[in-house]
């Protein structure tokens, strides 16, 4: 029997109310939600729960920061057109007109309306944190474009502004060549995160090229007219400019108009966004106004796709998705699509995977996840265990190229040394996906996407937990057990940890040794330290659980009391770590999710169907202090 407290019933009523309001047009809906600007789009499906009598399965509420900037108008259009392809999906949206307090009210109204999921593009991440986090207690929340403080949301989708800036910088280097030139940078709204990140990436890409000079940089609020006025006065002061880099296409168009009015020819204009339609970036490149634009999706389409997956309780939902960008010039217009769909193969998709080896419990779980997901997705997986040797991984990738697999994926043992073999893959037109670990290369185009954890954040989490446990001013003498030398997780986890303890001078790393992510090596190096007389330490920070467990063994063998005399924090969250926590030996584990198989197979399938892959897909992860171990252990999947 359903009671009034039945949550499905409580939710069904407002959804049905909204659906009725939407059927009988805007008047009744506006009556229902007077303070909001609301528009409804009836569309079609996620598979959803049982259908309402009017055919609506899910109601999604979208809270926009504003609907005046071209970027946001396009984002809304992307959301609506993607929603229109899904059966039984209804979208309701609001416009906060750039007011954080209005957006807080909008979110409250959308929740009252009974939305099943919220998509929020915040006016201001800090001001919206509380409202978003509170909403997340009730329904899944997808953040678009800007994030909030902490992790009180389901999924973030946004551009990789730093990557966009670097890509623009790399292009300017090509364009100006060794002779260099004078560049004017037009930024969006001063101090806004995308303006800062694009500018940082841009400047970093120009580092080491002193002949390319940024002679002026000013903000124009993302607006065409402001850019036009400001660039016109710049030209009056000093007209010696070779290239204008604007942080969106609209501002680039404004600057171009100013140059034309001043009779200035020969300046090249570069923009960002690459929208289609009249005066969109693509059209401006076609007309020769812009030399290039960097096209990036608004994330609206992806938000609706993931909303359906989340509502359908699909596995492998990441925590953050950073969208890719694509350079569009007159020469590349013909091939504006990133790649054609590889449909109708008439056979199974072939995926080559070069695994690092089997160094840890994490890696074993990762391998199991990849193999199981490939089977479920009916993908022909060619899997090679590369025995912790970079040379073996390179040979494996070459063998995949020779076999002409459809996609190559691998977890790079170390960050560098991949350029040559990845260029061979590119020459053979085989896309490469980095799974779990990333690479460092000046050529950003050597791989399609990265999927895995944020290792720097994991290091920060370990340090934050430590400080919260021991106190701000505790005398912490830390032994660090590092992962494989040169590996992405070892570098990131060290960096993130050191970043946090830098604010706490009483926290010192007294010894730091390479434990190669292995139990046996962790045990050996810890034994060596102890046998050399190291006793003056009260913390162990291990870059993975296996090394921490090895160190615990070494300490036990020497009559020490790990977990009591020494606080031990490590990363991964494997079952053995939970058992050690339950036994009082380990103090905390920071999760690093090895279950990447479903994400990888989705990326492969998306690529094969012609979809543009995000630049980075970051997994959802938690943190587990010892006190949670007993309750959490039975649910652990690895």
Which residues make up the interface to ligand AHR (CB under 6 A)?
359-360, 362-363, 436-437, 489, 517, 544, 546, 571-572, 592
CB of 260 to ligand AHR, least distance (A): 52
Q: Which is nearer to ligand AHR, 160 or 454 (CB)?
A: 454
CB of 462 to ligand AHR, least distance (A): 12
Listed residue (112, 159, 164, 101) closest to 135, CA to CA: 112
CB of 407 to ligand AHR, least distance (A): 20
Q: Which is nearer to ligand AHR, 114 or 598 (CB)?
A: 598
In the sheet with 623-625, reading across from the earlier edge strand, the strands are 507-514, 476-482, 539-542, 567-572, 588-591, 623-625
CB of 574 to ligand AHR, least distance (A): 8
Listed residue (125, 134, 130, 118) closest to 194, CA to CA: 125
The C-alpha atoms of residue 365 and residue 575 are separated, in whole angstroms, by 11
Q: Render the burial of 123-154: b for 16+ CB within 10 Å, e for the rest.
A: bbbeebbebbbebbeebbbbbbbbbbeebbbb
CB of 385 to ligand AHR, least distance (A): 13
The C-alpha atoms of residue 320 and residue 245 are separated, in whole angstroms, by 28
In the sheet with 292-296, reading across from the earlier edge strand, the strands are 212-219, 181-187, 243-246, 268-273, 292-296, 325-329
β-pair partners for 244: 184, 269
CB of 601 to ligand AHR, least distance (A): 19
CB of 546 to ligand AHR, least distance (A): 6
The C-alpha atoms of residue 331 and residue 328 are separated, in whole angstroms, by 8
CB of 585 to ligand AHR, least distance (A): 18
CB of 412 to ligand AHR, least distance (A): 9
β-pair partners for 294: 272, 327
Listed residue (590, 577, 627, 632) closest to 465, CA to CA: 590
CB of 88 to ligand AHR, least distance (A): 39
Cα torsion at 552, 555, 557, 558 (round to 10°)?
A: -170
529-538, Cβ contacts within 8 angstroms, sequence gap of 24 or more = 529/479, 530/554, 530/555, 530/558, 530/560, 534/479, 534/510, 536/477, 536/510, 537/477, 537/478, 537/479, 537/510, 537/511, 537/566, 538/475, 538/476, 538/477, 538/565, 538/566, 538/567
Q: Which is nearer to ligand AHR, 406 or 572 (CB)?
A: 572
β-pair partners for 542: 481, 570
Q: Which is nearer to ligand AHR, 194 or 412 (CB)?
A: 412
The phi-psi region of residue 374 (left if phi > 0; otherwise alpha if psi is between -120 and 50; otherwise beta) is alpha
CB of 481 to ligand AHR, least distance (A): 11
CB of 415 to ligand AHR, least distance (A): 11
CB of 500 to ligand AHR, least distance (A): 19
Q: Provide the pairing of β-strand 320-323 with 155-159.
A: parallel
229-234, Cβ contacts within 8 angstroms, sequence gap of 24 or more = 229/254, 229/258, 230/186, 231/184, 231/186, 231/255, 231/258, 231/259, 232/258, 232/261, 232/262, 234/184
Structural contact between residues 638 and 595, judged by C-beta atoms closer than 8 angstroms = yes
Q: How far is CA 621 from the centre of its chain?
A: 13
Q: Provide the pairing of β-strand 212-219 with 350-355.
A: unpaired
Q: Which is nearer to ligand AHR, 95 or 436 (CB)?
A: 436
Q: Which is nearer to ligand AHR, 153 or 517 (CB)?
A: 517
CB of 635 to ligand AHR, least distance (A): 20
What does 182-221 look like in DSSP terms, one character per residue?
Answer: EEEEEESSTT-HHHHHHHHHHHHHHTT-TTEEEEEEEE-T
Listed residue (564, 565, 562) closest to 542, CA to CA: 562
Listed residue (268, 270, 147) closest to 198, CA to CA: 270
């Amino acid at each position: 029997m359903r009671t009034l407290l039945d949550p499905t019933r409580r939710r069904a009523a407002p959804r049905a109310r909204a659906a009725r309001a939407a059927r009988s047009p805007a008047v009744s809906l506006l009556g229902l939600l007077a303070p909001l600007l609301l528009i409804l789009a009836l569309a079609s499906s996620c598979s959803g729960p049982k259908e309402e009598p009017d055919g609506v399965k899910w109601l999604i509420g979208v809270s926009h920061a504003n609907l005046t900037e071209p970027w946001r108008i396009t984002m809304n259009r992307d959301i609506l057109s993607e929603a229109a392809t899904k059966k039984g999906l209804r979208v309701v949206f609001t416009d906060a007109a750039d007011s954080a307090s209005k957006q807080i009210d909008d979110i409250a109204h959308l929740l009252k309306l009974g939305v099943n999921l919220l998509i929020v593009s915040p006016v201001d991440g800090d001001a919206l944190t509380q409202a978003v986090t509170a909403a997340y207690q009730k329904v899944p929340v997808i953040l678009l474009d800007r994030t909030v403080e902490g992790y009180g949301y389901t999924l973030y989708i946004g551009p990789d502004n730093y990557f966009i800036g670097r890509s623009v910088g790399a292009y300017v280097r090509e364009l100006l060549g060794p002779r260099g030139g004078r560049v004017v940078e037009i930024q969006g709204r001063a101090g806004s995160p995308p303006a800062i990140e694009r500018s940082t990436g841009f400047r970093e890409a120009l580092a080491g090229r002193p002949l390319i000079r940024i002679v002026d940089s000013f903000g124009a609020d993302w607006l065409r007219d402001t850019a036009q006025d400001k660039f016109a006065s710049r030209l009056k002061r000093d007209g010696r400019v070779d290239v204008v880099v604007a942080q969106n296409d609209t501002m680039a168009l404004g600057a171009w108009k100013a140059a034309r009015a001043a009779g200035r020819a020969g300046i090249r204009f570069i923009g960002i966004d690459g929208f289609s339609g009249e005066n969109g970036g693509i059209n401006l490149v076609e007309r020769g106004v812009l030399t290039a634009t960097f096209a990036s999706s608004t994330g609206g389409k992806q938000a609706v796709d993931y909303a359906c997956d989340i509502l359908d309780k699909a596995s492998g939902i990441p925590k953050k998705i950073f969208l890719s960008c694509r350079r569009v010039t007159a020469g590349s217009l013909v091939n504006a699509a990133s790649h054609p769909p590889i449909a109708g193969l008439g056979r199974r998709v072939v995926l080559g995977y070069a695994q690092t080896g089997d160094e840890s419990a994490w890696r074993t779980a990762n391998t199991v996840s990849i193999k199981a997901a490939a089977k479920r997705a009916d993908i022909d997986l060619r899997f090679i265990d590369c025995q912790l040797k970079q040379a073996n991984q390179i040979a494996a990738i070459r063998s995949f190229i020779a076999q002409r697999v459809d996609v190559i994926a691998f977890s790079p043992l170390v960050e560098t040394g991949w350029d040559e073999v990845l260029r061979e893959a590119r020459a053979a037109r085989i896309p490469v996906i980095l799974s779990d670990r990333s690479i460092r290369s000046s050529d950003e185009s050597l791989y399609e996407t990265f999927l895995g954890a944020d290792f720097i954040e994991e290091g920060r989490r370990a340090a934050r937990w430590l400080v919260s446990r021991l106190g701000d001013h505790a005398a912490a003498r830390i032994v660090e057990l590092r992962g494989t030398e040169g590996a992405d997780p070892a570098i990131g986890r060290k960096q993130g940890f050191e970043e946090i303890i830098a604010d706490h001078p009483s926290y010192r790393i007294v010894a730091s040794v390479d434990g190669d992510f292995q139990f046996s090596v962790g045990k050996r190096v810890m034994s060596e330290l102890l046998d050399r007389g190291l006793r003056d330490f009260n913390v162990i920070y291990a870059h993975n659980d296996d090394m921490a467990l090895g160190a615990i063994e070494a300490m036990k063998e020497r009559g020490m009391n790990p977990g009591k005399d020494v606080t031990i924090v490590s990363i991964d969250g494997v079952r053995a770590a939970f058992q050690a926590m339950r036994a009082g030996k380990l103090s905390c584990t920071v999760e690093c999710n090895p279950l990447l198989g479903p994400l990888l197979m989705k990326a492969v399938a998306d690529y094969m169907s012609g979809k543009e892959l995000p630049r980075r897909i970051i997994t959802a992860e938690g943190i587990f202090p010892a006190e949670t171990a007993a309750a959490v252990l039975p649910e652990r999947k690895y």
